[in-house]
Structure 1
Amino acid sequence: MSLSPLRFRLLPALLALAALVLPAAPRAQPLLAREGSLPALDGATGWLNTPPLTRAALRGKVVLVDFWTYSCINCLRELPTVEAWSEKYKPYGLVVIGVHAPEFAFEKKLDNIKAAISRYHITFPVAVDNDMAIWNGFDNQYWPAAYLADAKGVIRYHHFGEGQYDRTERAIQTLLREAGATGVPDTLVAADGTGAQAEGDFADMLSPETYIGYARARHFASTGGMVQDSANEYLTDAAGLGLNGWGLTGLWTVGADDAVLDRPGGAILFLFHARDLHLVLGPGPDGKPVRFRVTIDGRPPGMQHGVDTDAAGNGMVAGQRLYQLVRQTGPVTDHLFRIDFLDPGVQAFSFTFG
């Protein structure tokens, strides 16, 4: 979830007049309320990049607790900025803790989390919150979510969703100075993500996150509807799809969280409107890679391919993670996406866009 900032605008003429008659004002620092004590971190089922951290050991440090999970596109896009804050402000007393709280069962696997930490170059401490104990202690409800505590262990700021990085960084600077740090930079980081971590084109994104499992599925358009927990032969009329409509073809078993392909040759179709298209996928229980081929409007993607496909649309599902399948460079319009799987067993969880 991402919350849009309010934007206040001054008439250019008034702004120019003010510049003539008023000296430059010092940069305003955020007014930070007291939002309660930093909850305990004892519920972590493991720690990565660090020995276990406790609330008591963190006293005297400014602490940024960032909730994320590795298949969440919103989380992935914010990680370069969070990593940049950790590197920039660690010498001044900031400790960044990434709390990895899983959305899907496969995100509880420690090897998967370690692979994500390596893939996305995360160096700050990560608490593995497989039991959601830290999540519940914060009464959190969002991925991503950031909570900032002062050196006395009091939460003074929070932000839910992507964006507003300038506000969060100003809050970090304020609390570090309150804690007595000297020489805290007044500049802001500019972390440019690449691949799936590149900032989304929110101004022209009309397709929402879409889950494939029946527990949260919307806009499913295959003939005959969705059959729960049983193998079923699906057929989807591509010409009949409306915007954000999607469907399956071939023999699939749709569960609460995912759809599993029971026979080679199945496909998923989606009529979308966004610059980027991602799909959370995993191989079958045997772990064998699954080959796939992507088309856009019936043609190979060419230069519009994502980082996990080539220009001919070919790719392979070799792990349980988010795959970037489309990255457009021109004007964004409605397009019919299709992914054909050449091998059985693939798990499909959700579409996200950017």
Structure 2
Amino acid sequence: MNKSMLLAALLSFACGEAVASTSTQAPEFAGIDHWFNSPPLRMSALRGKVVLIDFWAYSCINCIRAMPHVEHLYETYKDQGLVVVGVHAPEFDFERDPANVQAAIARAGVTYPVAMDSGLSTWNAWHNQFWPAEYLVDRDGKLIGHHYGEGGYDKMENAIRLLLGLDMQAPENTANQFKPGPGDTPELHLGSAGQQGFGNAESGGEGTRRFSVPAALAMHKFALGGSWEITRQYARTVGTEVELQLRFKAARLYMVASADSTTALEVTVDGNPQPAVEVQGSRLYTLFDSHDDREHVLHLRIPRAGLRVYSFTFG
């Protein structure tokens, strides 16, 4: 086996993903409307460097949990020939606002270059389908391997080390890495496009109507109470004294939301009050944080109109 074949085999193992027998040229960045932490970059100008492309969205909990790993790779290997580029590819409209993305970069302490791919042109050029997704490119600009989702951090790091000509290192302790429990609730979207988990008797289609919370709510379902407007991307409170219930299985619960003005939510889980949550700005909010991975019931009381709820995610 020649050196290139050996490297491809090692990288295939290290990335945990199948690698094509003939590596393909990495696509160029396309349709980037803003760059942060860097002047504009081009893949063709990065020949001679090992490049890690990380697709993310700032309201994605999986991306948020993976970002310290990406920052670690950048800080550890940036002086040894690695270039890291975070490609911010929005899931929701508010993630197309440069000010929101810049604030998210600051909150996360990201120092590597970030490209805003608001029209998903680069996402499409790379044929990507996931948040987060990492793509590894060698010094010749060839796409070597990829990894989707959280985890596999030591494998990706060893793949980078191989491309940089460094020795592989022992696997890290993965005890603290997130792993979903069996039967945990999947991500739920409230907007009509891709709506999942809608538990009301009333229609979940677009429009404004009054909802009644059912007497019994099935697992992995949410229900609205009071007056709400449903759009393609979110459900928005129209009246005052509005409520939302959710029956879920997970140890942690997050909500992607925004509000016209600061909105204080009354949060209870299994009848127990949780720390107050103030929705201020468009981002991910933590509603429940525990080590108790079992069935729970969330009850949200919302005192005013203008709260937009996009999705619930779990951890």
When normalised by structure 2's length, the TM-score is 0.90
1:249 is matched with which residue? 225
2:266 is matched with which residue? 293
Confirm or deny: 8 A CA contact 1:81 1:189 kept in the other structure: no
Count of aligned residue pairs for this structure pair: 300
Confirm or deny: 8 A CA contact 2:162 2:168 kept in the other structure: no
- Of 181, 184, 187, 1:206 maps to 184
Task: Report the Cα offset of residue 40 of structure 1.
Answer: 0.8
Q: Find the aligned partners of 1:171 and 1:212 in 2 and give their Cα distance.
A: 39
Which runs of 5 or more structure 1 residues have no equivalent in the other structure? 1-27, 178-182, 193-197, 302-309
2:195 is matched with which residue? 217
Task: Report the Cα offset of residue 299 of structure 1.
Answer: 2.3
Q: Find the aligned partners of 2:145 and 2:155 in 1 and give their Cα distance.
A: 10
1:234 is matched with which residue? 211
2:240 is matched with which residue? 264
Q: Find the aligned partners of 1:283 and 1:345 in 2 and give their Cα distance.
A: 6
2:16 is matched with which residue? none
When normalised by structure 1's length, the TM-score is 0.80
Structure 1, residues 317-349: CA drift from partner, whole Å, max 9, x if none?
1010011110113x4221110111112100000
Q: Find the aligned partners of 2:41 and 2:67 in 1 and give their Cα distance.
A: 20
Q: Which amino acid aligns with 1:289?
A: T
- Higher strand share goes to which structure? 2
Structure 1, residues 198-238: CA drift from partner, whole Å, max 9, x if none?
84341345200000001111231113232422x2111112x
2:107 is matched with which residue? 119
Q: Find the aligned partners of 1:203 and 1:261 in 2 and give their Cα distance.
A: 32
Task: Report the Cα offset of residue 188 of structure 1.
Answer: 5.8
Confirm or deny: 8 A CA contact 2:151 2:177 kept in the other structure: no
Structure 1, residues 228-257: CA drift from partner, whole Å, max 9, x if none?
22x2111112x4111111110111000111
Q: Find the aligned partners of 1:190 and 1:122 in 2 and give their Cα distance.
A: 23
Which runs of 5 or more structure 2 residues have no equivalent in the other structure? 1-8, 13-18
SS at match of 1:56: helix
Write the mapping of 1:28-107 to structure 2, written as runs, cut at 5 A.
Answer: 29-31=10-12, 33-107=21-95
SS at match of 1:328: strand
Task: Report the Cα offset of residue 187 of structure 1.
Answer: 5.3
Q: Find the aligned partners of 1:34 and 1:169 in 2 and give their Cα distance.
A: 22
Q: Find the aligned partners of 1:38 and 1:110 in 2 and give their Cα distance.
A: 26
Task: Report the Cα offset of residue 166 of structure 1.
Answer: 2.0
Q: Which amino acid aligns with 1:115?
A: A
1:278 is matched with which residue? 254
- Structure number with greater Rg is 1
Q: Find the aligned partners of 1:339 and 1:199 in 2 and give their Cα distance.
A: 29
Task: Report the Cα offset of residue 30 of structure 1.
Answer: 3.2
Confirm or deny: 8 A CA contact 2:190 2:309 kept in the other structure: yes
Q: Find the aligned partners of 2:172 and 2:118 in 1 and give their Cα distance.
A: 31
Q: Which amino acid aligns with 1:223?
A: A
Percent of paired sites with the same residue: 37
